[in-house]
Structure 1
Amino acid sequence: MGSLVGAYATSHTAMMIRKFQPDNDVHAAVHQAFAQVRAEVDRLSPDVLVVVSSEHLKSFSYDSFPQICVGIGEIATGWGDGGVASAEVPLAGAFAAQLLSEGVATGFDLAFSANPKLDHAFMAPLTLIRPEMDIPVVPVFQNANTEPLPPLWRSAQLGKLLRDVITRRPAAETVVVLGTGGLSHWVGTPEMGQINSAFDERFLQHVRAGDLGAILAMKTADVLAEAGNGAPEIRNWVTAMAAASSQEGWGVSEPERRPRSGGEPTARGPRGVVLAYESVPDWATGIALARLAPEEEP
């Protein structure tokens, strides 16, 4: 069986590259955290990097917009949007094909895109974490901005699917999962530039505690109202948390996301280590990075 050797989650705004100022202490703290993730991924040396993210009407449009789409094929290419340089990214075609086929067989109506193009949601974190673009990637698109939005428990089910596929991969294969997006931010609205640090800190407390149940209990409408139209991207963190969890028997159906009568959530994830959180008005985003697995720095 294959093995998941690491899982991380980060924010992904293109402004952290386009508007980066090295002499700004807040900017530098974010980039230092990305450098730490880069060093850890280098030490983990995975065979495959599964990147779960969203996109911003670059690869998909309203004539055909999937809820979840797996990138298959040999090469993905960056759009070069938002000031993030384009690059060619090798794809882990065999892993992607197995994820697609097993997902459909187990009830996920997955779409696929052959040799897809990737916007800054994928390319900004990859540029900072693996600028060499030498680890084969499985890009997984999740809808986070176009109604109707799926509930967060569906993103946890996707994480469980990823974990199950990893266990059925060849024994020597090692995998790192990276979820990107969020935290609080408003895009293209009068509120753009605002950041709700209280929401972000509450969410990160759940990440630190591995309290996936509390996150799954969030309603998308409340997340939108409190943290902006970019905040539903936290679903990509949920997928990474669920993929990193070794717990069995949860996340299979919607009712299991609900707390037990005593208030204890049924869904537990790994206890995450928050590597950085900064409210960055210059980038119009609450920026966070977390290691979800392993618990100790590799």
Structure 2
Amino acid sequence: MPVGLVALSHSPLIGLNQPEDAVVRKVDGAVERAREFIADFDPEVVVLFAPDHYNGFFYEKMPPFCLATGAVAIGDFGSASGDIKVDVDTAKTLGARVLELGIDLTISARMQVDHGFVQPLEVLFDGIDRVPTVPIFVNGVAAPLGPVSRIRQFGHAVGTAAAELDKRVLFVASGGLSHDPPVPVLEGAPPKVAEALIVGHPPSPEQRKRGEDRVLQAGRDYAAGSTTMTPINPSWDNEFLDVMASGDLGVVDAWSNDWFEAEAGGSSHEVRTWIAAYAALAASGHYEMTSRFYEPIPEWIAGFAVTTAR
């Protein structure tokens, strides 16, 4: 059965801190092309690779990746809340097969997910309950991070397992590219912040609003140039997209985590979702990137990209 891919950036600031209309129209056009690609491909199941931002995964237990047989969206930054439409049987089949292929995969029967998972489902499918989905968390925030090569190997195992299904599988990656938003760091954090990052007590509505307001203000400061955050790096972003387009994914094995942060900011590690998804696609053989869009958008604190491939 055929496999396809859509990879796109996300940002909690979409709709809250908008760039000029011409930029929004460009993004809307790229998303519409992705939606047309999906309609033509007509997937039977979506395997969604996405990160978390200390809303579902915490240092008490922080796996490098985790597959969900059930998932609930928390509804941060105005995104949808409630149950994700998980294809439970397919999720169990993929999880078991990936373990057989030698990947130490964590399984969650009730994964909590945030806008990183929800945005692509809303943008591409009009909701979190519209398409059978297998959600897969890929850690791109919480240090220490494993080698990039392991993410490629993990994605290849998922793709190998998916190729054995009698279904049209669409891999979706959510995250990146270069960006450096104000994400808390455990190392050196004050005791209250460290405890929140470790245990993950759900914040009150007031606490959540204060945190979201800080991110919104950071976006405004970033767009105005009054910030110490690492700048968006279009050169790095496009070099990354070139590698994804080339199909020569073994190149990523030499990339270091320190290089990611120095060149593209602390949250550039989210491109691990892209590496996993493209490696999953490549497990079925040669692929072609059929569309590619890129735009640096300071208002969203993101090098923003949308690609399709099959």
TM norm. shorter chain > 0.5:
yes
Kindly indicate whether residue 244 of structure 2 is the aligned counterpart of residue 207 of structure 1: yes
Kindly indicate whether residue 225 of structure 2 is the aligned counterpart of residue 188 of structure 1: no
- Higher mean C-alpha deviation, range 111-120 or range 230-239: 111-120
Structure 1 residue aligned with 2:110:
115
Under a length normalisation based on structure 2, what TM-score does the superposition of the two structures give?
Answer: 0.80
Structure 1 residue aligned with 2:308:
291
Structure 2 residue aligned with 1:135:
131
Instruction: From 147, 150, 153, give the equivalent of 2:146.
Output: 150
1:21-40 maps to which residues of 2 (within 5 A)?
Answer: 24-40=21-37
For residues 227-246 of structure 1, the C-alpha deviation after alignment (integer angstroms, 9 at most, x for no partner) is 00110111111111111115
Please state whether the residue corresponding to 2:279 is helix, strand or coil: helix
Instruction: State how far apart, in whole Å, the 2-side matches of 1:240 and 1:65 are.
Output: 21
Shift of 1:94: 1.0
Which one-letter code corresponds to 1:177 in the other structure? F
Instruction: From 155, 164, 171, give the equivalent of 2:160.
Output: 164
Instruction: From 3, 15, 31, give the equivalent of 1:5.
Output: 3
Structure 1 residue aligned with 2:168:
174
Instruction: From 245, 261, 272, give the equivalent of 2:289.
Output: 272
Per the alignment, do residues 20 and 125 of structure 1 end up closer, same or farther by CA in structure 2, a change over 3 Å counting? farther
Please state whether the residue corresponding to 1:30 is helix, strand or coil: helix
CA contact (8 A) 1:77 1:89 kept: yes
Per the alignment, do residues 216 and 97 of structure 1 end up closer, same or farther by CA in structure 2, a change over 3 Å counting? same
Instruction: State how far apart, in whole Å, the 2-side matches of 1:186 and 1:38 are.
Output: 28
Structure 2 residue aligned with 1:66:
63
For residues 50-71 of structure 1, the C-alpha deviation after alignment (integer angstroms, 9 at most, x for no partner) is 0001101101111111111111
Structure 1 residue aligned with 2:203:
none
Per the alignment, do residues 80 and 6 of structure 1 end up closer, same or farther by CA in structure 2, a change over 3 Å counting? same
Structure 2 residue aligned with 1:253:
none
CA contact (8 A) 1:279 1:287 kept: yes
Shift of 1:20: 4.2
Instruction: State how far apart, in whole Å, the 2-side matches of 1:144 and 1:14 are.
Output: 16
Instruction: State how far apart, in whole Å, the 2-side matches of 1:270 and 1:159 are.
Output: 15
Kindly indicate whether residue 118 of structure 2 is the aligned counterpart of residue 81 of structure 1: no
Instruction: State how far apart, in whole Å, the 2-side matches of 1:143 and 1:208 are.
Output: 23
Instruction: State how far apart, in whole Å, the 1-side matches of 2:82 and 2:293 are.
Output: 27
Structure 2 residue aligned with 1:262:
none
Instruction: From 31, 35, 43, give the equivalent of 2:40.
Output: 43
Instruction: From 37, 50, 53, give the equivalent of 1:53.
Output: 50
Instruction: State how far apart, in whole Å, the 1-side matches of 2:150 and 2:16 are.
Output: 33
CA contact (8 A) 1:144 1:235 kept: yes
Which one-letter code corresponds to 2:121 in the other structure? L
Per the alignment, do residues 204 and 44 of structure 1 end up closer, same or farther by CA in structure 2, a change over 3 Å counting? same
Instruction: State how far apart, in whole Å, the 1-side matches of 2:22 and 2:252 are.
Output: 31
Give the count of matched residue pairs: 266
Please state whether the residue corresponding to 2:93 is helix, strand or coil: helix
Structure with bigger helix share is: 2
CA RMSD for the aligned pairs? 2.0
Instruction: State how far apart, in whole Å, the 2-side matches of 1:15 and 1:216 are.
Output: 32
Segments of 5+ residues of structure 1 without an aligned counterpart are: 249-268, 294-298
Per the alignment, do residues 5 and 271 of structure 1 end up closer, same or farther by CA in structure 2, a change over 3 Å counting? closer
Instruction: State how far apart, in whole Å, the 1-side matches of 2:283 and 2:57 are.
Output: 33
Segments of 5+ residues of structure 2 without an aligned counterpart are: 184-226
Which one-letter code corresponds to 2:155 in the other structure? G
Please state whether the residue corresponding to 2:84 is helix, strand or coil: strand
Instruction: State how far apart, in whole Å, the 1-side matches of 2:230 and 2:300 are.
Output: 7
Instruction: State how far apart, in whole Å, the 2-side matches of 1:210 and 1:185 are.
Output: 24
Which one-letter code corresponds to 1:225 in the other structure? A
Instruction: State how far apart, in whole Å, the 2-side matches of 1:158 and 1:214 are.
Output: 15
Shift of 1:49: 0.3
